[in-house]
Amino acid sequence: MKNLEIDRPIAFLDVETTGLSVSADRIVEMSILKVKPDGSQEQKTRRFNPGRPIASQATEVHGITDQDVADEPEFRQVAAGLRSYLEGCDIAGFGVSRFDLPVLEEEFRRARVEFSHKGRRVIDTMVIYHSMEPRDLSAAYARYTGKEIERPHAAEDDVRAAAEILDAQLALYPELPQTAAALHRFCNPDQDNWIDPDGRLALDDGEVTINFGQHKGQSLKEVAELEPDYLKWVLDKDFSSQVRAMVAAALNGEFPSPPQPDEVTQ
C-alpha cells in the first residue's frame, strides 16, 4: 500500500457463501489480506464446511461445490483463532460493509464468539467507487451513447435515454442475453426463488421461508408453529395480498404448494 497511511493493521476481507442471505447463508471460503503499518503483508485463505447445501447459483459464481468443502472444518471450529488473528485490525474490502462483514459477524454470533465491527475503521472500496464515479442516468447515457441528455430529470428525456442505454449495452456486450425474459434473470439473480414480487416469502428446497426481518431464513411452517403472533403482526401490516394470504393459511395450519419462481416472474 503506497498511498494509504495506517497506524494499525488493516484486514482486507472477501467471503464466498452458500447464497445471498446475510442471516441465513454460510461462509464457504474466506480470504484475508492483512496489511501492517510497516508495509508488510500476509494473506490467509481457507474453506469451511457450511453445514448446508451450497445454492447452485452461488456455485456458478464462485465455483465451489458441496463436495469441495465436505472435509473442511466448520466455521465454529476456527472462530476463536480467527478472532485473535483479526484482533486490533481495521477492516476493508469491496462491498465489505454491505455483505462480507455482516455475514462474518453472523458466523461469529452462531459460533458464540464475540466479534464486532464496532471500534474498527471500516473502509469499503465499493462505496468509494460509487462516490467518485457518477452512477446516475446522465453518466450512463454519456458512457454508452457519447451524448448528453438535453434536459436531465425531465421524464420525457430520461425515459428515452434509458431505452437508448439498453440498446447500446446490448450492442456493446455480446455476452448479454438478447431476450426480455433472460435479461430479467440477469438483472435479478437473487429473485429467482421469490414467491411474491417484493421477496417477502421465498422458496428454499421447495419450502416456503420468511425472507425478511428477525425470522429471515426460517420456514413459514416453523414460524407459524412457534411464533404465531409474529405472523399475526404481518397480517396487520401493509404486505402484499399474496403474502397475507399465505400467512393466513399458515396460521390455519394450511400449507398449499407455493407457485414456482418462474411462474411469478415470467
Where residue 60 sits, what CATH number does that domain have? Answer: 3.30.420.10
Tens digit of each residue's pLDDT (9 = 90 or more) over 173-230 = 999 999 888 887 788 666 667 887 778 888 887 889 998 888 888 889 999 999 999 9
Is the domain of 261 the same as that of 232? yes
Q: Among 158, 135, 165, 164, which Cα is nearest to 149's?
A: 158
Is the domain of 238 the same as that of 143? no
- Judge whether residue 266 has pLDDT over 80: no
Tens digit of each residue's pLDDT (9 = 90 or more) over 68-119 = 999 999 999 999 999 999 999 999 999 998 889 999 999 999 999 999 998 8
Across 141-155, average pLDDT = 91
Last residue of a domain, one of 96, 128, 160: 128
Q: What distance in Å separates the CA atoms of residue 107 and residue 22, rounded to the nearest whole number?
A: 10
Is the domain of 102 the same as that of 159? no
Residue range of the domain that includes 152: 137-176
Tens digit of each residue's pLDDT (9 = 90 or more) over 63-81 = 999 999 999 999 999 999 9
Is the domain of 122 the same as that of 15? yes
- Beta-bridged to residue 125, according to DSSP, are none
| 195 in a structural domain | no
The chain-wide mean pLDDT, for the chain, equals 88
Q: Among 36, 16, 40, which Cα is nearest to 27's?
A: 16
Q: Indicate whether this model's pTM tops 0.85.
A: no
CA distances from 52 to 70, 109, 179, 219 (A): 10, 17, 34, 15
